[in-house]
A and B are shown apart, each in its own frame.
Chain A
Amino acid sequence: MSVTRLLTSAALALGLASAALAQDKTKVGFIYVGPIGDGGWTYEHDKGRLAVEEHFGDAVETVYQESVPEGADAERAITQMALQGADLIFTTSFGFMDPTLSVADKFPDVKFEHATGYKAAPNVSTYSARFYEGRAIQGHIAGKMTTSNIVGYIASYPIPEVIRGINAAYIHARKVNPEVEFKIIWAYTWFDPAKEADAATALIEQGADVILQHTDSTAPQAAAEKAEGVITFGQASDMAEYKPRPRVSSIIDNWAPYYIARTQAVMDGTWESQQIWHGIDEGMVEIGEITDAVPGDVKAEALAMKEAIAAGEYHVFTGPLKKQDGSDWLAEGETADDETLLGIDFYVEGLTAEIPQ
C-alpha cells in the first residue's frame, strides 16, 4: 500500500515538475506541407525552425509535423499541436489558411502565424514574402537567355501568389525579348517529384529551353539536367547542387529572422496580430548566386534590377500594363497597390493561356 502511494505521489510530482518545466519553455510548432528533405520550400522553413532553436537554446522547444495535406486533415494536425501545448504555431502553406483560422478560433490563447495567406484574426497573423520581386529578375534572365523563345513554367495551384509570379516573370521576359512565349503547366501539387519531372520533360520536349518552377522539389532541375542546353532557377531554396547549370540563379526564402522575432514577441508578451509582406529589401527574399552560365552583361542588369527593387526605386508592376483581355490595368508610371496584388486573379496582356477557375 505504502509503496503504491509512494509511487503515485512520485509520479504526480514528476508530472507536476514536467508540467512546470514545460510552462517555462516557449513551445513553437510548425506545420509543413512537404517533407523537410524536399530541398525547397519546406526545407527553408525548417532551416528557420532550426535557427529559432539555435537562437533561444533551452528557452524554446520546437515541434513540427511534415507532409501535412492541405485541407481537412490539416485541421486535425494543427489542433493536435495546439493541444500539445504549443504557444506559437506557424502553418507554412497557403492551403492551411482556413484550417488555421478555425483552430485559432478554438484556442484563443495560442498564437498562430499563417504563411502566404490573406485572412487574419486577433490571434492569427499572416506573413509572406514578395517572391514576385525575384520572379522579375528570373524573367529578365530568361528573356535574355532563351534561344527558342519558349519559357516553360511549372505552376502549382491557381492562387494569387503563383499568378503574381507568372505575371512578374512574363512582364520582364517580354520587356527584353518581345518574341518570348510562356508555356504553363498546372501540376496541382506542391510536392510530387515524379510529376514535376514529367512536367519539366513535357515542356522541354515542346521546345522550352528555360524552366521556371513554382513547385517545391528539385525534380525539375534533375529533369532539365538530363536535357541539353536548358536552364532553370532554384525555387524557395538555393538548390545549389545544380549549379552552375542547369540552375543559373535562385530565389531563396529566408524565414529565420522573422521566426526568431515572432518567438521573441511571444516570450515578451508583445505579440500582436499583423499582416506583413517582406521582400528583397527586408531580406526575406534573397537572390541566389547568378552563375557564370549567364553572360556578364545580363548578370549585371539582373543585379542592377535587384538593387533598384531593394532600394525602392523600381516596382516590379509598373505601368503601362494591360490585362490579358486588353483592358487597362496600370497607367504610365503607375505602380500596383498591395491590395490588388494580394488578390490578383488575372494575367497580363500577352500571356496566351487561361487561368484555371
Chain B
Amino acid sequence: MSLSSIDATLLLASLIVAATPILLAALGELVVERAGVLNLGVEGMMITGAICGFAIAVQTGSPLVGFVAAAAGGAALALLFALLTQVALANQVASGLALTLFGLGLSALLGQGYVGVKPPPTARLDLGPLSDLPFVGRVLFSHDPVVYVALALVGAVWAFLKYSRAGLILRAVGENHDAAHALGYKVVRVRILAILFGGACAGLGGAYISLVRVPQWTEGMTSGAGWIALALVVFASWKAGRVLLGAWLFGGVTVLQLNLQAAGAAIPVEYLSMSPYLITIVVLVIMSFDKSRAPGSLGRIFHASQ
C-alpha cells in the first residue's frame, strides 16, 4: 500500500468536479419539491441536457452556448412535465417516471450523429493570482465557470428560500397549496416556474457530465446520476446547504475510493465500492434528526376548485 501516491490537491480538485453534476440537479429538484411538486424525471432531464449541450457546443464551437442550450433543453422537457401535472392534473409519480424514459429515448435519438465526436474544451476560469496560490489555488480557484455557477446557485437558492418574498410564497405553495391559493397566490404559476428551474438545473448538470467530466457523448451516460440527485434532496432534508454537503460527500468518497483502490489500500474493494452511498446516507440521516420534514403538499395535485 502506498497512500503517498494519492495527491491530496488533485483529489480535492476531482472531488469538486465529480460533485458538480449531482449538485446542480439536486438543487433544481430541491426548489421543485419545496414548491410541492415531486418530479421523478431528473434522470431524463439530465440526459436530455447532456445531449442538447453536447450537440450545440459541437455545432457552435462554444461550450458556453452549449450549457445555455442544455439548460433550455432540460427546461423544455420539464415544461412537458409541467403541462401534464399542473394543467392536465396527471399523477406526478407516473409522469416523472415517464419523463425519465422519454428523456433517455429522446437523447439516444438526438445523439445518433454525435457518438465519437469530441466537444470543444471548456476552459478553466483564470482567476489570476488566486489560481497560482499553492494548494487552494488548484483546489478552489482553477475550475471551469460552471463549478462556480453551481456554488453560487447554492447560496442563491438558500437566500431565495429563506429571505425573499418570492421564496416565502414558493414555500407557502409547497407547504399548503390550498392556503396559498386562498391568500391569492398563483399556485400553478409558481409551480410551473419552479419545475422549469428544476429542468434547467438538471440540464446543466447533465451537460457538465458530457462536456467536462467525461467529455464525450454516450447513450445513457448519466447512468443513474439523476436518481442519486433525487435521493440527495430527501436525505438533505430539502435544505440547500446540506445538498452541497451531500454532493461533496458523495463525489468526494467516490473519487477517494477509486484513488484508494488504485493505491492498493488494504480495505476490501466491496466496502470501498459501497462507501459513497453508505457514508452520504449515514451523515445526512444523522443530521436530519432535527425537526426537518418534507413540504406538506409534496406530490399532491392542486386544483383551484377543490
Contacts and interface: CB of A to CB of B under 8 A. Distances in A.
Task: Give the most central of B111, B116, B255, B268: most A CB within 10 Å.
Answer: B116
Contact of A37 (B10, B218, B224, B262): B218
Nearest first, the 9 closest Cβ-Cβ pairs linking A and B are A241-B116, A37-B219, A35-B219, A356-B269, A202-B258, A193-B221, A222-B216, A192-B223, A35-B220
B223 A194 contact: yes
B219 A198 contact: no
B38 interface: no
B142 interface: no
B264 interface: yes
B218 A218 contact: yes
Nearest to B251: A198
Contact of B5 (A184, A206, A357): A206
B270 A356 contact: yes
B216 A193 contact: yes
Nearest to B222: A194
A36 interface: yes
Contacts of B269: 158, 186, 188, 356
Interface string B1-26: 00001110011001000100100000
B213 A197 contact: yes
A185 B262 contact: yes
A191 interface: yes
Interface string B200-222: 00000000010001111011111
Contacts of B60: none
Task: Give the most central of B222, B255, B262, B273: most A CB within 10 Å.
Answer: B262
A203 interface: yes
Given A186-B269, A205-B259, 19 more contacts: A34-B220, A35-B219, A39-B115, A158-B269, A183-B263, A186-B261, A189-B223, A193-B209, A194-B18, A194-B209, A194-B222, A197-B213, A197-B214, A198-B213, A201-B14, A202-B259, A206-B262, A222-B214, A357-B270
B264 A183 contact: yes
Nearest to A239: B116
A189 B6 CA distance: 23
Given A195-B254, A202-B255, A207-B5, A186 B214 contact: no
Interface of A: 34-39, 67, 152, 158, 183-186, 188-189, 191-195, 197-199, 201-203, 205-208, 217-219, 221-223, 225-226, 240-241, 352-353, 356-357
A199 B222 CA distance: 16
Nearest to B259: A202
B195 interface: no
Nearest to A205: B10
A191 B220 CA distance: 9
Contact of A217 (B215, B218, B222): B218
Contacts, number: 117
Given A39-B116, A205-B7, A194 B262 contact: no
Given A183-B264, A193-B214, A202 B14 contact: yes
21 contacts: A37-B111, A67-B220, A183-B263, A185-B258, A191-B220, A193-B209, A193-B218, A194-B209, A198-B213, A198-B258, A199-B262, A201-B14, A203-B262, A205-B7, A206-B7, A206-B259, A206-B262, A218-B216, A222-B214, A241-B116, A356-B268
B82 interface: no
B263 A219 contact: no
B225 interface: yes
Nearest to A225: B118
Given A193-B221, A205-B7, A206-B5, A35 B108 contact: yes
Interface string B210-248: 000111101111111100000000000000000000000
Contacts of B11: 205
B101 to A, nearest CB: 11
A193 B11 CA distance: 19
B116 to A, nearest CB: 3
Task: Give the most central of B111, B219, B264: most A CB within 10 Å.
Answer: B219
Contacts of B258: 185, 195, 198-199, 202
B12 to A, nearest CB: 11
A201 B10 CA distance: 10
A194 B222 CA distance: 7
Contacts of B6: 206
Contacts of B268: 356-357
Given A202-B258, A206-B6, A206-B259, A218 B116 contact: yes
B10 A193 contact: no
B259 A194 contact: no
A34 B223 CA distance: 10
A307 B273 CA distance: 40
